Amino acid sequence: MKKLVNVLHHFLYTTRKAQQTDLLLLGTILARQNKDLPVLDNLAAAEFKVFSQNGDDGIIQYLINKVHVPSTTFVEFGVENYVESNTRFLLKYNNWSGVVIDGSEKSISYIRSDDIYYQHDLKAVKAFINRDNINDLIASQGLQGEIGLLSVDIDGNDYWVWKAINIVDPVIVVAEYNSVFGIDRAITVPYQPDFIRERAHYSHLYFGASLKALCMLAEEKGYAFVGANSVGNNAYFVKKSRLGPLKALTPEEGYIYSRFRESRDKKGNLNYLSGHDRYECIKGMPVHNVATGIQEQL
């Protein structure tokens, strides 16, 4: 029985490695084509997926070929086991180095046991991120000053954590926004150091910040909003001093309304709410208006 289990493990391991090799080969072809793209009016035209959840691998390749990025380092947090992430293709194809952070011990152990960990200059840190510890977490891994890219996706205090970051100065920032919050108000969930999405509201729809809130923060930090991915969950920002030929957009010009149907009922089961029903589900929940500084309700 033990021998059979070992054979199965070996089969799964070699199968996964073969799949990753195939993905990387496809990604290499797409990345070379992507490099020759003209300046686009819509980032969705640059999309392709290798290791990212959606088409973000392609968008990132497009941006690093249009923007001067001398520092090939990244920080990404909220990566789970890093099999699906925004920076894995940068690590594998472009040979960037970086730091990934996640709150799960199991996920960090998985990353450290993955071949990618010895094959590349990657550091994996186990920590529950908040606005008070994020700078120390990054600094503890030897990063400060300019870096190439920052990816923010923690399904909660995203706005507050990005606002707090000052130890590094990324050229490109990828930040998740909550499309369900709409485009009219610059709002975020009020800061709670222990915010966890599934505990904050049973639906899992109450988290993060609106696109307009992230764009206001980007402006404060000297970034231009250059677009969002086609599924409406990740926004892209570039340092204004490095914008080059790229066009800055208003939140209204770049907003994409998501079609995700990931809502839960009170028993924790998927109930597939769509459209405005998602907003109605969390209507009345408290939000912080970053334009006025006043706590309001959805």
Q: What is the pLDDT of residues 63-95, one digit of tens each?
A: 999 999 999 999 999 999 999 999 999 999 999
Does 184 have pLDDT greater than 70? Answer: yes
- Domain-by-domain residue ranges, the chain? 2-297
Per-residue pLDDT of 217-241, as tens digits, reads: 999 999 999 999 999 999 999 999 9
Is residue 291 within 8 A of residue 187, CB to CB? The reply is no
Does 12 have pLDDT greater than 50? Answer: no
Is residue 215 very low, low, confident or very high in pLDDT (cuts 50, 70, 90)? very high
DSSP state of 63: H
Is residue 89 within 8 A of residue 111, CB to CB? The reply is no
How confident is the model at residue 13, as a pLDDT?
Answer: 47
Is residue 17 very low, low, confident or very high in pLDDT (cuts 50, 70, 90)? low
How confident is the model at residue 23, as a pLDDT?
Answer: 79
pTM of the model as a whole: 0.92
Is residue 206 within 8 A of residue 197, CB to CB? The reply is yes
Strand bridging mode 97-102 / 168-176: unpaired
How confident is the model at residue 15, as a pLDDT?
Answer: 57
Per-residue pLDDT of 98-109, as tens digits, reads: 999 999 999 999
Integer Cα distance of 252 and 186 in angstroms: 12
At 36 the three-state DSSP class reads: coil
Residue among 51, 48, 115, 105 at smallest CA distance from 82: 51
Residue 184: phi, psi to the nearest 5? -80, -30
Integer Cα distance of 256 and 211 in angstroms: 9
Is residue 180 within 8 A of residue 211, CB to CB? The reply is no
Q: Which amino acid is at 55?
A: G
Is residue 260 within 8 A of residue 233, CB to CB? The reply is yes
DSSP state of 264: B
Which homologous superfamily does the CATH classification assign to the domain defined by 2-297?
Vaccinia Virus protein VP39 (3.40.50.150)
